[in-house]
A and B are shown apart, each in its own frame.
Chain A
Amino acid sequence: MELEKTKSSNKNLGLFVEINRVLDHHLRKQENLSSNVFSLQKFLNELQAILHPDISENTWIDTMEFMPLTMSNNNGILSEKVDLQKLKITGRYLVKLENSLNPSSIDDRKLLLIEESGRRQEKLTQAITEIDHVAKVNQKVFSIEGKGDLYKRQFTYFEFDLLLDLKK
């Protein structure tokens, strides 16, 4: 009697398991997609937040562009990973010396500018790395001469090549 009762209530187990499996399969696709809907806006908000004076004062982004992403797997075959996007950002930040610092010579001043630029570089890199959607910093370039002009116009040029996971 008890067995029949339990058997009867268990008769839908197979169906339940199958429904769960199929539902989960379809649902995962939808959930992945829905997490991607606003991800670019969220990333832009975070990126703009690092330009806030409290984090990175006098920083400008000159260009921002998504690049084609091709990743090579272990076999060396190029494959495209849909979840990830590659973004290149270039910009500049102004390097200011505190008024209390009073370099006695041009060389001293240059040294202080380099030190300050290094501090800003570290802060900016950390802020960008900490953005939720940044999966990896592929490449970063800082230039104080050439594209940058640290000693005269007191700015450092920067370039970040980022790998974004916009499904986060």
Chain B
Amino acid sequence: MKRIVLLFSLPVMVFLVLLLFSFSFQDRVQEKLKTLEKLDKDIIETDANLEIENLFANDLSLATEDFEDITRRVIAQKKFWNEFVNPDLNIVTNHGIKSSSGVNTEINKLLSFLNRTFDSRKVKLGFSNLSEPNFFTPQNQQPKRYGFGFTAYDGFWPSFEKQEANDLLKQAKIIKEMCEFLLDSFDDNENFNLITIKRETAGSEDNKHIGDNLYAKNSDTHLLRESGLVQSYVFEISFTGKTQNCRSFINQLRPPYTLRSLKAYRNVLLDVENRQDSFEEPSPSNETDILPIIRDITSTFTVVVEYVFAGPVDINNQIQNDLTKSFDEDEVSEILKEIQ
């Protein structure tokens, strides 16, 4: 009997031991299974993340390409504006600050020089042939010296702040250069009239005295500085001449000058007045003898010129200002290094 019990108890015990083992390992298996499941999930998640990151990498690659393209555009714009403003030769940026009385002396010297130069070329100053004569001007009155935009300051100098006085001198230097362009646009023996030179006011004191020399902007004239990107002075110069003279003047307006408006006017009445010479019922054989319809080809030109002395603000600084609130300043700087 004992033998039988022993014979049966041994497998039972083995079974029980195995069962015990089984129970104890089941948890570990479950644990391993869970780990495997988690790993599986992690792999899926990682794959998904990798896929997303690959898409981002693609976007980054496109963004980098865009950035390279934009960098080229930025560099082109920087080059354009630097060449246009031409800081090395720009009258305004190269202006050395003078005292108010120093400016007074300079402007007086300039007016004397311009009057002498224009007189020597026999240029009529301050009126147009096309305009009506002023019967109210007394004949015996000595005409005042032409002011070239500074009529009020010929023999008169109010109390200017240093900055305002220097702004006036900057304008005067530009006007001098434009007068030289104008003289170079005509042959030495060619007559013409310089009718007006108008400029903007340099400040509150200048505003009290500028008078007729003040340039008043029309709504049909578009100035570059209206964009808010550049700083400039604006001048309006009116003169008589032929188209070729005007063309020559305009062609000399190289950067930082920019032509903003041109008005051309020719007195057509002069042609009408000569109508007695007109072509009266000619015979066909007279075709080549047709009188020219234009006899006086002198026109009055009014040219608005903008002199730019400061180009757009450095784009890197703009970007820094715009982005440092949302991004790390050093990271922004690092990327922007490429467009220095």
Contacts and interface: CB of A to CB of B under 8 A. Distances in A.
Interface of A: 2-3, 6-7, 9-10, 12-20, 22-24, 26-27, 29-34, 36-38, 40-41, 44, 48, 60-69, 80, 82, 85-86, 92, 94, 96-97, 99, 101-103, 106, 109, 149, 152-155, 166
Contacts of A13: 56, 59-60, 63
Nearest to A99: B287
Contacts of B227: 29, 32-33
Given A27-B315, A36-B224, A99-B288, 8 more contacts: A13-B56, A15-B323, A17-B59, A26-B315, A63-B266, A65-B265, A97-B284, A99-B287
Given A9-B60, A96-B287, A152-B278, A19 B220 contact: no
A92 B295 CA distance: 13
B63 A16 contact: yes
B114 interface: no
B13 to A, nearest CB: 51
B222 A96 contact: no
B220 A9 contact: no
Which residue, A44, A153, A154, has most C-beta atoms of chain B within 10 A? A153
B188 interface: no
Residues of B contacting A: mostly: helix
Nearest to A149: B278
A68 B339 CA distance: 40
B57 A6 contact: yes
A92 B278 CA distance: 15
Interface string B305-336: 00000001001001100110011000110011
Contacts of B84: 34, 37
Given A9-B57, A80-B219, A92-B293, A63 B50 contact: no
A145 B287 CA distance: 19
Contact of B264 (A12, A19, A30, A64): A64
Contacts of B66: 20
B315 A23 contact: yes
B284 A102 contact: yes
A98 B335 CA distance: 70
Contacts of B318: 22, 26
